[in-house]
Chain A
């Protein structure tokens, strides 16, 4: 413990900064460079992995059975076709219409029933903001209608529950199915997200003053049913990001066999005529990747193919025009040192 002897040393160098690998920028580092080997194998691997995945995705997408029935035009007879908007806005007209469809390939249950709207901007800024999440979940905040204008209060200044444009414009077409003249039960339970039912929509919040604000938008709600059981509303209020979207209507738990004749009775209430939107009814099965959507599979095949092509091109380039890496003669000052002097 001869401390006194060693004491002056640190004092002498006290001004000198402390040494560490970080402060000297000397941390050990991995310095990869783009060698032909690395790059070509990367492209090859991407190609080899992507093509099978693409094939699998495409295959499963193709295995989905899907039927899309456009009915907005079918459900208009010639008389009304001239003035579809007046027809759809008139409460008095009979809007029931029937269509039928023959099953072409077997559909394994559960079969999902969607309605599809085109040219419908649920993502419009005025629309998408027009809701109040607090009001939906908490009975105490039912007067809170911030953001809901112009569907926030009735003419008598009573708060509307649920308020806002989204709820107000709730989709109100309904479908009934008969298979080979036998009524088909449509399961409308659990079509919305469980988390929405448990946390986003209150079990003690009941619709109030809904669709009483003068203009009637879409569907009316059962005032005796709490919001978390109004699954159509819950589905509708999960706004779509695209102007063309499908929303789950219900599920058919049974299988549909080939050549089954499905008769569909549609209550064509929802106004898409005003903005020229289409309405479709979709019956679809599902696989691990979801509904029918060949996009991912095709994209994978494309990217995988291009990667392999890149790999091949680079291999060819490497063979035809080999170029030594790091050749000092490529340094121009080595070629011509005089100019720098």
Chain B
């Protein structure tokens, strides 16, 4: 399919293609209600509640007033719908801002300022310097005489260097005025998301030059969201607009993220649902049997001899309704509420405000805070995430003399300054290479300052540093470079540029010194690309040492070298170079070969060391999080060496001999396979050694690994705690996330640039750094933070607390629903299995909505350990990662607890209120009071820190229960008239209540205390240490001991069924979660014995585990 774009044709294209209106909205005003309802009802829970609510309309089977379900249901739907509407409104606003941005567009031959949304395909759009490109354009003009323009594509691919774009040859040399009137046709593919390809043709209509078809490539385009830089103006024809731009096409709709915890809650809900069905079936059958045998004799019930056809269904359906409260309708509302608050706590956190820019942290996705506490893998971008993305020249070594070693800044090194001023030839030559051996373009600003526009930040740093040392590169006009050194101006003519490629790892310039006519070759490049080509006889040992020393400091090194060329040597080579440059087959390889012929016999001058400063606190953050059992992978588009250097400097990997870095490389499929297998083998052997083993892979090899050896690579991914992937594309980053996710790991992706967006969206949690590379990543992310170091607090404090709190809240919600449901079930055994509800409608509704939801909501303030303790002992995060606080086992504890409490409440109620006191309303209120008292004490027992709000909520709620019931008891029309007053006057009521409380809570207290003191979890131990005031020390000085050999036969990896991991027997704290999974077949004895020894019913309740 092709698209034909008629340039500057104001009529035809309007109807064919969409305008430039960007829309990220999900709803419109009209479809909001049906679409939203449809979406809400596609969730199982909601379908279930709707079914229950509908069944309740049938008065024959409903135990209570239908309002008790319809009310909360409508409320829940209203809340969800409002939230959706609110989000959509915000999307609308941000779209609107982009759509209404004003741009210059040619209309009827005149330049006009119109809104970006009114751009149509075929329009000519004018951009000025630093403008954002509003849609995909094909360039037709630029201020540059050679038709070049520079763009920054950071928002799209995250690369911060400037890229050159050139106008098509057909448009070359068209006068500015004529550009308004240009006509033609562009034949281009239908919209697609490939940002690296654009295969199109252009033909201009007469009178514009020739009639030939001019081919277009991606080099002739500027894409939406790029910025025009260093170019006064440029203009282009809109070819893709609105949501059809390449960026718009690749945006995609991010899938809604579901936390591991939500998945677990869903699973538990499913289990409860099955349990409910079983209960309903059993009771339904029992009820029908009782009805047919016993009820026929109970003459006062007047059962008809022959009932309607649905008679058999009535009793089961009644029980279904009676048991429907087993799945608490309030849990969704409560969870949404507390999740909103977790997000707010992140937004509000003062300790996560970036003071430099005063940017607070922000939780865009309010639903996934718990996942932060369960992160197992962090995939991080490098530039701008770990580093500040500011390159600074720090040290150098010139002819064996180290500068900048004392104060860490060569620019302030007196000796170097002295050497410069004294004009030492080596130093001057060194500075010359620094200043001109690059592709930097100097520009003069109006104030006379010289600004450098560099494609690479390293080159920028070198030129800046040279300028500081009085070697100022101030002008480049055509092939002539002008350098000012100590007030004398030097001119050089560039003869050839030997470009940098990642294979050659060096770049060179051949130039003529205009002062003396000599031809020079200036080279700079990686040590391994320069030092082997040193002049025979030159000692390079010094430089090797320097490189090593700098690399240890995490500095990026470049070696500088030069040599003089003889005139004839240059001539001869120049011919070959031209020839190579014009070959059609294997050009790159041929050029490299030719370059090689001249780049030898070099006089190595020295080594520069550039620092890409790490952000504050990065090594500490990585170390802390690593201690917390989180594995780090670094995914970067940068070079392998740089990546390794940064990794070394931020504790990412350890230097030899403690660490070992295995490299997977290869140019062909076969090489990659062999390399991969070798690494895998090494990795398997070394897992038993206390050694940091990491692997490093580049994008090329990764491509093979991902496409052909996925299984082996996945195995490697599981074995390796650390990995460095360099030169990876955005989609490879996303694929890597996908691999880890497919092994059922919780992944967090953190990045700052547009090239991280896909990875951020793909990962379970996406964190964006709102940094230098724009806000692209921050906008797509679930969380945006100002600095990498806030990640520590985000995970250890916010993630962990959120997990703990939700674990309690969700299980408690089930506990309280089950409690009242069990009582109803027990009651049915003494009411002829007929499905009578012991509790009245008001109580049932208020139980869920008021009595039990308020106290548990304040558990969002609960802190089991103080923030300082957690940061000091990050290992405690294992509890969250392994899901120790919410899993089927802890849930069984809560289930047992509710069963036990139901037995206590029910037995005491019916025995204390037997015979003459067995009035229905009274017994029901006694049982309900018992439930309320017990739940107040349960919440109190599970609360670790009581703020005033907790006290208010827990005890105030208890008082509120009586207040509400007294009000109902004062209304003559209510069924409960006078009941509560009567009860409160009876000593036996209070005696019964205290009995229920004591009988219900003592066993729990006893078991909890026993476990707390004699089988303490690490959390308990830390709590005790923290609160008894003793110093909490981590005895980290003991010599590392060899890691216990968990499983010798690592080849029986469980990667084939990673989903089967059993959350109960997660070995905890004794090893990493990786080891856990590897050894899932052979659980640790220690943990088995612990779980066996614990009592089944209350063993794994929330906090005392």
Point out residues on A near B: beta carbons under 8 Å: 12-13, 15-19, 23-25, 27-34, 36, 39, 42-43, 46, 50, 53, 57, 112, 114, 116, 120-128, 133, 150-151, 165, 168-169, 193, 195, 199-200, 215, 217-218, 238-248, 271, 274-276, 284, 288-291, 293, 295-296, 299-300, 303, 306-307, 310, 314, 317, 321, 323, 325-334, 336-341
Per CB-CB distance, the 5 closest pairs between chain A and chain B, nearest first, are: A338-B1040, A326-B1025, A326-B1024, A169-B300, A23-B348
B975 touches A337 (CB 8 A): no
Write the nearest CB–CB distance from A149 to chain B, whole angstroms.
9
Q: Hey, which chain B residues are within 8 Å of A114, CB to CB? A: 915-916
Distance in angstroms between the alpha carbons of A103 and B861 in the assembled complex: 64
Write the nearest CB–CB distance from A1 to chain B, whole angstroms.
27
Q: Hey, which chain B residues are within 8 Å of A121, CB to CB? A: 298, 301, 831-832, 834
B1021 touches A327 (CB 8 A): yes
Write 16 A-B pairs (CB below 8 A) sorted by A numbering.
A17-B347, A43-B1002, A57-B991, A193-B982, A200-B977, A241-B827, A241-B923, A290-B916, A291-B916, A299-B911, A306-B1002, A334-B1038, A338-B1043, A339-B690, A339-B1070, A339-B1071
Residue of B863, B921, B947, B950 ringed by the most chain A CB atoms within 10 A: B947
Write the nearest CB–CB distance from A148 to chain B, whole angstroms.
11
B988 at the interface (CB under 8 A from A): yes
Known pairs A32-B946, A244-B918. 11 more at Cβ < 8 A? A17-B353, A23-B349, A31-B944, A125-B835, A169-B300, A244-B914, A248-B916, A299-B908, A326-B1024, A338-B690, A341-B692
A293 touches B1013 (CB 8 A): no
Distance in angstroms between the alpha carbons of A115 and B351 in the assembled complex: 72
Residue of A18, A125, A242, A317 ringed by the most chain B CB atoms within 10 A: A125
Q: Hey, which chain A residues are within 8 Å of B827, CB to CB? A: 123, 241
B945 touches A30 (CB 8 A): yes
Write the nearest CB–CB distance from B979 to chain A, whole angstroms.
9
B945 touches A307 (CB 8 A): no
Contact for B360 among A16, A24, A33, CB less than 8 A: A16
Q: Hey, which chain B residues are within 8 Å of A243, CB to CB? A: 830-832
A125 touches B836 (CB 8 A): yes
Known contacts A33-B1024, A246-B915, A340 near B1006 by CB under 8 Å: no
A295 touches B294 (CB 8 A): no
Distance in angstroms between the alpha carbons of A310 and B1018 in the assembled complex: 25
Contact for A340 among B831, B922, B1024, B1072, CB less than 8 A: B1072
Q: Hey, which chain A residues are within 8 Å of B1039, CB to CB? A: 338
A296 touches B1071 (CB 8 A): no
Distance in angstroms between the alpha carbons of A306 and B999 in the assembled complex: 10
**Residue interface mask B965-1008, A partner, CB < 8 A = 1:** 00000001001011000100011100110010011001001101
Write the nearest CB–CB distance from B904 to chain A, whole angstroms.
10
Chain B residue nearest to A338 in the complex (CB): B1040
Known contacts A165-B300, A165-B302, A275-B299, A328 near B1034 by CB under 8 Å: yes
**Residue interface mask B543-560, A partner, CB < 8 A = 1:** 000000000000000000
Q: Hey, which chain B residues are within 8 Å of A123, CB to CB? A: 827, 830-832, 836, 920
B998 touches A303 (CB 8 A): yes
Q: Give chain B interface residues in 1050-1103, CB to chain A under 8 Å.
A: 1069-1072
Q: Hey, which chain A residues are within 8 Å of B345, CB to CB? A: 23, 25
B875 touches A331 (CB 8 A): yes
**Residue interface mask B916-944, A partner, CB < 8 A = 1:** 11111111100000000000000000001
Residue of B344, B629, B1005 ringed by the most chain A CB atoms within 10 A: B1005
Distance in angstroms between the alpha carbons of A241 and B1002 in the assembled complex: 28
A336 touches B1041 (CB 8 A): yes
Q: Hey, which chain B residues are within 8 Å of A296, CB to CB? A: 911-912, 988, 991-992, 995
Residue of A193, A200, A321, A341 ringed by the most chain B CB atoms within 10 A: A341
Write the nearest CB–CB distance from B189 to chain A, whole angstroms.
43
Write the nearest CB–CB distance from B738 to chain A, whole angstroms.
28
Known contacts A242-B830, A242-B910, A246-B916, A19 near B350 by CB under 8 Å: yes
Chain A residue nearest to B1030 in the complex (CB): A326
Known contacts A125-B835, A165-B300, A331-B873, A240 near B918 by CB under 8 Å: yes
B832 touches A124 (CB 8 A): yes
B863 touches A341 (CB 8 A): no
Q: Hey, which chain B residues are within 8 Å of A245, CB to CB? A: 915-916, 918
B92 at the interface (CB under 8 A from A): no
A116 touches B915 (CB 8 A): yes
Write the nearest CB–CB distance from A240 to chain B, whole angstroms.
5
Chain A residue nearest to B629 in the complex (CB): A340
Contact for B912 among A168, A240, A293, CB less than 8 A: A293
Write the nearest CB–CB distance from B950 to chain A, whole angstroms.
8
B295 at the interface (CB under 8 A from A): yes
Distance in angstroms between the alpha carbons of A34 and B838 in the assembled complex: 37
B875 touches A340 (CB 8 A): yes
Write the nearest CB–CB distance from A276 to chain B, whole angstroms.
7
A31 touches B832 (CB 8 A): no
Chain A residue nearest to B1013 in the complex (CB): A323
Contact for A331 among B921, B922, B1018, CB less than 8 A: B1018
B850 at the interface (CB under 8 A from A): no
Q: Hey, which chain A residues are within 8 Å of B946, CB to CB? A: 29-32
Distance in angstroms between the alpha carbons of A329 and B916 in the assembled complex: 60
B299 touches A271 (CB 8 A): yes
Q: Hey, which chain B residues are within 8 Å of A291, CB to CB? A: 915-917
B1033 at the interface (CB under 8 A from A): yes
B109 at the interface (CB under 8 A from A): no
Q: Hey, which chain A residues are within 8 Å of B986, CB to CB? A: 290
Chain A residue nearest to B1041 in the complex (CB): A338
Distance in angstroms between the alpha carbons of A30 and B948 in the assembled complex: 9
Q: Hey, which chain A residues are within 8 Å of B977, CB to CB? A: 195, 199-200
Chain B residue nearest to A295 in the complex (CB): B911
Q: Give chain B interface residues in 858-898, CB to chain A under 8 Å.
A: 861, 863, 873, 875
Q: Hey, which chain B residues are within 8 Å of A151, CB to CB? A: 302
B832 touches A300 (CB 8 A): no
Chain B residue nearest to A340 in the complex (CB): B627
Contact for A299 among B294, B627, B995, CB less than 8 A: B995
Distance in angstroms between the alpha carbons of A328 and B915 in the assembled complex: 57
B861 touches A27 (CB 8 A): yes
Contact for B1006 among A239, A293, A310, CB less than 8 A: A310
B978 touches A195 (CB 8 A): yes
Chain B residue nearest to A270 in the complex (CB): B300
Known contacts A242-B918, A243-B832, A50 near B998 by CB under 8 Å: yes
Known contacts A17-B353, A331-B1018, A29 near B945 by CB under 8 Å: yes
Distance in angstroms between the alpha carbons of A100 and B947 in the assembled complex: 66
Known contacts A327-B1021, A330-B1021, A16 near B353 by CB under 8 Å: yes
Known contacts A17-B360, A242-B910, A325 near B1013 by CB under 8 Å: yes
B205 at the interface (CB under 8 A from A): no
Chain A residue nearest to B297 in the complex (CB): A275
Chain B residue nearest to A290 in the complex (CB): B988
A15 touches B360 (CB 8 A): yes
Q: Hey, which chain A residues are within 8 Å of B1030, CB to CB? A: 326
Q: Hey, which chain A residues are within 8 Å of B1042, CB to CB? A: 338
Distance in angstroms between the alpha carbons of A264 and B385 in the assembled complex: 95
